[in-house]
């Protein structure tokens, strides 16, 4: 009889997102020194979570659950296709992958509060799809004095993105806003983090469908429904 030991087959599951104190220090330093930073976080989030999120946005895209994004707020909200052409769907944190991602976002929120005293109380996040030719002209994510969106985080979900695919995030110097100070190629697992009021940025036209999640850490409360 063959009595060789057979190792039990364990269910395959990704470990939870890894957020270390040292990594949070790096994020806080990047925001303090330059107002922005970009980093590959695939190893922290895990391949399973990233591909799960990408599957969700691809399904939303195919089922036309994404809506043309607006510019401005409330009654000022405009769907101006000369400014931005992406389509979005807000995340609710209700699916397993969204819940896992929300844990990660909340750990970043708390870590930045502990280090930079930003008073971030909550976050909001949406999926975005840029189809071929779509762009988002230069803008900032929040207007000074509104004290709403404080820190922006964009996570990219595109496998094998080449420079020729376009769609890069172009970041401008917060002191001299005609100077480009960084280009982020939207490869899966890459993240951009920046101060929402300070750092002008733009999404260059994409030459193939581009998927991402944009998250804003805010210092206001959820408005009460009337
Ligand atoms: C935005 C934005 C950047 C990106 O949604 O406000 O600037 O690279 N996104 O998708
Ligand atoms: Mn933006």
Judge contact between 86 and 139, C-beta under 8 A: no
CB-facing half-sphere around the CA of 83: CA atoms within 13 A: 13
Mutate to test the pocket of ligand 1, among 214, 215, 216, 217 (most ligand atoms within 8 A of CB): 214
Report which DSSP code applies to 165: G
Higher-scoring residue by pLDDT: 204, 72: 204
> 4 burial class (0-12, 13-18, 19+ CB within 10 angstroms)?
exposed
Q: Which residues have any ligand 1 atom within 6 Å of their CB?
A: 128, 136, 141, 154, 169, 201, 203, 212, 214
Residue 8: band (very low, low, confident or very high) from pLDDT cuts 50, 70, 90: low
Is residue 67 scored above 80 in pLDDT? Answer: yes
Which ligand has the nearest atom to the CA of 170? Answer: 1
CATH topology of domain 21-69+81-218: Jelly Rolls (2.60.120)
Tokens in use for 184? 């982020």
Mean pLDDT over the full length of the chain: 90
- What is the residue extent of each domain of the chain? 21-69+81-218
Q: What is the DSSP letter of 226?
A: -
Angle between helices 21-34 and 96-116 (to 10 degrees): 60
Q: pLDDT tens digits, residue range 176-207?
A: 878 999 999 999 999 999 999 999 999 999 99
The answer on pLDDT for 147 being more than 80 is: no
Side-chain half-sphere exposure of 226, counting CA atoms within 13 A:
0
| 3-state secondary structure (DSSP) of residue 98 | helix
Q: What pLDDT sits at residue 203? A: 98
Q: How far is the CA of 140 from the centre of ligand 2 (A)?
A: 6
State residue 75's pLDDT score. 57
What is the distance in A from the centroid of ligand 2 to the CA of 94? 25
């Amino acid at each position: 009889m063959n009595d060789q030991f057979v190792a039990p087959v364990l269910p395959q599951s990704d470990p939870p997102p890894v957020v270390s104190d040292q990594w949070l220090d790096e994020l806080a330093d990047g925001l303090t020194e330059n107002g922005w930073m970009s980093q590959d976080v695939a190893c922290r989030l895990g391949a399973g979570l990233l591909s799960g999120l990408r599957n969700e946005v691809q399904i939303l895209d195919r089922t036309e659950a994404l809506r043309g994004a607006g510019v401005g707020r409330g009654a000022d909200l405009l769907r101006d296709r000369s400014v931005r052409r992406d389509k979005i769907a807000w995340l609710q944190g209700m699916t397993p992958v969204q819940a896992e991602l929300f844990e990660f976002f909340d750990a970043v929120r708390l870590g930045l509060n502990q280090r930079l005293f930003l008073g971030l109380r909550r976050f909001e996040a949406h999926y975005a799809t840029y189809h071929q030719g779509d762009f988002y002209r230069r803008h900032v994510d929040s207007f000074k004095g509104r004290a709403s969106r404080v820190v922006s985080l964009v996570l990219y979900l595109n496998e094998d993105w080449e420079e020729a695919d376009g769609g890069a995030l172009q970041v401008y110097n917060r002191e001299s806003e005609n100077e480009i100070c960084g280009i982020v190629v939207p490869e899966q697992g890459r993240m951009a983090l920046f101060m929402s009021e300070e750092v002008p940025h733009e999404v260059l036209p994409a030459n193939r469908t581009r998927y991402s999640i944009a998250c804003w850490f805010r210092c206001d409360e959820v408005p009460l429904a009337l």
